[in-house]
Amino acid sequence: MRQVNRRSVLLGGAAAVSAAGLTATLPSWASARTTAAAPAIHDPFQLGVASGDPLPDSVVLWTRLAPAPLNPDGLGGMPNASYTVEWEMANDAAFSSIAQKGTVTAVQASAHSVHVEPVGLEPGREYFYRFKTAGYISPVGRTRTAPAAGAAVNQLKYAFSSCQHWEEGWFHAYKGMVADNPELVLFLGDYIYEKKSGRKLSALNPRSLAVPDDATTLALYRARHGQHKTDADLQAAHAMAPWMVVFDDHEVMNNWNGTTSPASADRKAAGFQAFYEHMPIRSTAKPSGSTIKLYRQFVWGNLARFHLLDTRQYRNAQVPDPADGNPNCTTMRDPARSILGTAQEAWLLKQFETHPATWDILGQQVFFATRDDDGSKTTCQSPDSWQGYEASRDRIAKGWVDRKVPNPIVLTGDVHRHWAADLRRDYFNHSDPIIGSEFVTTSVTSNSDDAKDPSAAWYANNPHVKYCRGKRGYVRMTATQEQLRGDFVTVSDTTEPAIGKVTIATDRSYVVQAGKPGLQQV
Q: Which domain holds residue 457?
A: 148-189+295-521
Domain assignment present for residue 439? The answer is: yes
Radius of gyration of the chain from its Cα atoms, rounded to whole angstroms? 22
Domain assignment present for residue 477? The answer is: yes
Q: Report which of 440, 439, 438, 443 is spatially closest to residue 416, judged by C-alpha positions.
A: 443
Q: What are the helix (H) ranges across 154-313?
A: 173-180, 218-229, 232-240, 265-278
Distance between CA 102 and CA 383 in Å, rounded? Answer: 48
Hey, is 343 helix, strand or coil? helix
Domain assignment present for residue 331? The answer is: yes
Distance between CA 512 and CA 50 in Å, rounded? Answer: 31
Domain assignment present for residue 85? The answer is: no
Whether the CB-CB separation of 191 and 45 falls below 8 Å is answered with no
Task: Give how many domains the chain has, as a whole number.
Answer: 1
pTM: 0.91
Whether the CB-CB separation of 452 and 423 falls below 8 Å is answered with no
Distance between CA 12 and CA 473 in Å, rounded? Answer: 29
Whether the CB-CB separation of 239 and 26 falls below 8 Å is answered with yes
Q: How many CB atoms lie within 10 A of CB 478?
A: 18
Distance between CA 239 and CA 142 in Å, rounded? Answer: 6
DSSP 399: H
Whether the CB-CB separation of 327 and 388 falls below 8 Å is answered with yes
Distance between CA 245 and CA 58 in Å, rounded? Answer: 16
Domain assignment present for residue 143? The answer is: no
Backbone angles phi, psi at 225, to 5 degrees: -60, -45
CATH number (domain holding residue 354): 3.60.21.70
Domain assignment present for residue 337? The answer is: yes
Domain assignment present for residue 115? The answer is: no
Per-residue confidence in pLDDT tens, the chain, 522 aa: 333 333 333 233 333 333 333 333 444 434 444 333 324 688 999 999 999 999 999 999 999 999 999 898 999 999 999 999 999 999 999 999 999 999 999 999 999 999 999 999 999 999 999 999 999 999 999 999 999 999 999 999 999 999 999 888 899 999 999 999 999 999 999 999 998 887 655 555 555 545 666 899 999 999 999 999 999 999 999 999 999 999 999 999 998 886 556 789 999 999 999 999 999 999 999 999 999 999 999 999 999 999 999 999 999 855 555 544 445 677 777 888 899 999 999 999 999 999 999 999 999 999 999 988 888 877 776 778 998 898 999 999 999 999 999 999 999 999 999 999 999 988 778 889 999 999 999 999 998 666 678 899 999 999 999 999 999 999 999 999 999 999 999 999 998 888 899 999 999 999 999 999 999 999
Q: Report which of 126, 129, 120 is spatially closest to residue 98, judged by C-alpha positions.
A: 129
Domain assignment present for residue 265? The answer is: no
Instruction: For the sheet with 304-308, list strands across it.
Output: 296-300, 304-308, 359-363, 408-412, 434-440, 418-424, 465-469
